[in-house]
Amino acid sequence: MEKILIIGANGQLGTELSAALQTKYGQDAVIGSDIRKPQEENSIFELLDVLDNDALLKTVKKHKITQIYHLAAILSAKGEENPKMTWNINMNGLLNVLEVAHYEKLKKVYYPSSIAVFGTTTPSPAPQYTSMNPATIYGISKRAGEQWCEYYFNKYGVDVRSLRYPGLISYKTSPGGGTTDYAVDIFYKAVEGAKFSCFLEENTRLPMMYMPDAVRATMELMEAPKESLSTHEGYNLNAFDCTPKELYNELKKHVPNLEISYQIDKLRQSIADSWSDTVNDDVARKDWNWNHRYDMESTTKDMLLNLKKKFAVK
Ligand SMILES: NC(=O)c1ccc[n+]([C@@H]2O[C@H](COP(=O)([O-])OP(=O)(O)OC[C@H]3O[C@@H](n4cnc5c(N)ncnc54)[C@H](O)[C@@H]3O)[C@@H](O)[C@H]2O)c1
């Protein structure tokens, strides 16, 4: 029987991945953990700092963990506020997880990477194997993390798997300080009837993905036969790409009164400018049959529907 530990379970991705894993493996098979308590404690939860390797080992032994999904990280824009702290959490947290996976002989580890590993020398669309010169400490830590994953796989046989997510769009939990957060905030403003102020320039193109696709991709990768995987660094993953102006125009079809203005945040604009505007995910499609289901139009419809429901309940 699988016992899955999710580290960083209360974040934007963790809340939705935890629910999906509970549905698949059963409520008692999934142990959420985070440095923050969850808003509602309706499943097994451990308060855990991934930097505390003794506590991590104790948690793994206590629950007889077989797989870890290590989601805890400081994201791109927030990471620039304190680069050394970001490096410490993003890097040493991963090393603690890989060590425990190695010594406790865990079956599998999941490590999320990001399009932040790409940089200004990366061609567009970003190929799976390409020039990478990440400009942020977040991107540097994710790229180094991918290489640590490949190293532990080759040297110790730790079955660690990884995806390079684009910006994730979702309605259940707010994003935690990334450069693509505008693409979530614009939906909230549309539903609240408020004016939207965008921190990126109107023509800044970035890769995006709706959360149901991201969760499904993660679970499909983790269930894929080991022999079918050609890399244990992050797989490129693509759904659609858009600019703030295009997303705004799509939203206007449903919310004609939505207004937008642009107040550019220099830091986040420079981060966005350093990333690839679209990625090529042929390797993921070939190795484990990845296929996205949501494009910008269907993401917009579903986000609006669910946010309206969420606000109606409140
Ligand atoms: N959200 C996106 O658009 C996106 C895109 C690409 C990659 N990713 C990656 O996916 C993963 C999850 O992202 P997210 O959007 O859910 O982030 P988030 O910021 O919403 O959540 C991260 C969670 O980790 C927890 N955490 C922070 N430090 C911790 C520590 N020391 N020990 C234990 N928990 C700690 C936080 O409390 C938080 O709940 C991250 O690794 C991120 O880099 C996310």
Domain count, the chain: 2
**Ligand 1 centre and the CA of 13: distance in Å?**
7
**Ligand 1 centre and the CA of 35: distance in Å?**
11
Is there a catalytic annotation at residue 294?
Answer: no
Q: How far is 265 from 31, CA to CA, in rounded Å?
A: 38
Q: Provide the residue type at 26 as one letter.
A: G
pLDDT at 212: 98
33 and 152 part of one domain:
yes
In the predicted model, what is the mean pLDDT of residues 182-200?
Answer: 97
Distant-in-sequence, close-in-space partners of 91: CB < 8 Å, separation ≥ 6? 141, 144, 145, 148
Per-residue pLDDT tens over the stretch 105-130: 999 999 999 999 999 999 999 999 99
130 lies in some domain: yes
Residue 181 has pLDDT above 70, yes or no: yes
Q: Which residues constitute the domain of residue 50?
A: 4-168+208-236
Task: Point out the ligand 1 atom lying closest to the alpha carbon of residue 9.
Answer: 39
| Selected catalytic residue, list 69, 110, 111, 138 | 138
**Ligand 1 centre and the CA of 9: distance in Å?**
8
132 and 196 part of one domain:
no
Q: How far is 179 from 167, CA to CA, in rounded Å?
A: 8
280 lies in some domain: no
pTM (2 decimals)? 0.97
Per-residue pLDDT tens over the stretch 17-60: 999 999 999 999 999 999 999 988 778 999 999 999 999 999 99
* Mutation probe of ligand 1 site: the residue of 75, 90, 164 with most atoms within 8 A of C-beta: 75
Give which of 197, 305, 237 is closest to 13, Cα–Cα.
237
